Amino acid sequence: MYCSPIWSPQTHDDCLKLEKIQKKFTKSRAGYGDLSCSERLIKANLKSLELHRIFANLIFYCKILYDLVDIDKANIFDFESNNSVTRSHGLKLRALKPKCNTTLFSYGYRVTKLWNCLSPNAVWAPTLSLFKKYLVDEDFSDALVLKFDTF
């Protein structure tokens, strides 16, 4: 999971290959063999690797947004100019327009949509630790590509 905000699998096949490693490991543990993949993750108190990457991406985004890392925000995203606080959390971001297909899979482009779907509590959390706490309560089921008991 080291540097997952920088590198993230782009294809469904790549995601499956990574998840199969975790699936094989949890199945090999004593008392886990007869459980479904999602049951094994719950019993082992683990998140799927895909969900872990989503968390890591959003935490890094928060660090960038609040200047906790030395990265120029202007190179990654821009603020929406017509935000309505009553219809969103008021801190909607817009990914910079991609100039080539490679940019479509870049960090800023793939994480902006996730950020914009967060609840106001998470987005306006005053500290990083509180942001992480709120992140656990978010529903990312629509963002997950893989359904664990199907592979």
Does residue 139 have a pLDDT over 90?
no
Does residue 147 have a pLDDT over 60?
no
pLDDT at residue 72, as a whole number: 84
pLDDT at residue 132, as a whole number: 94
Does residue 149 have a pLDDT over 60?
no
Q: For the beta carbon of residue 34, count every other beta carbon within 10 angstroms.
A: 8
Confidence of residue 84 (pLDDT cuts 50, 70, 90): low
Query: Terminal CA-to-CA distance of the chain, rounded, Å?
Result: 21
- Among 13-27, 44-58, 117-131, 137-151, which stretch is predicted with the lowest mean pLDDT? 137-151
Q: For the beta carbon of residue 60, count every other beta carbon within 10 angstroms.
A: 19
Residue with tokens 């993750």: 41
In this prediction the pTM is 0.78
pLDDT at residue 150, as a whole number: 47
pLDDT at residue 8, as a whole number: 77
pLDDT at residue 81, as a whole number: 55
Higher-pLDDT residue of 133 and 32 is: 133
Please state the domain extents for the chain: 9-46, 48-142
pLDDT at residue 98, as a whole number: 72
Q: Exposed, middle or buried: residue 81 (CB in 10 Å: 0-12, 13-18, 19+)?
A: exposed
Average pLDDT over residues 96-116: 78
Average pLDDT for the chain = 81
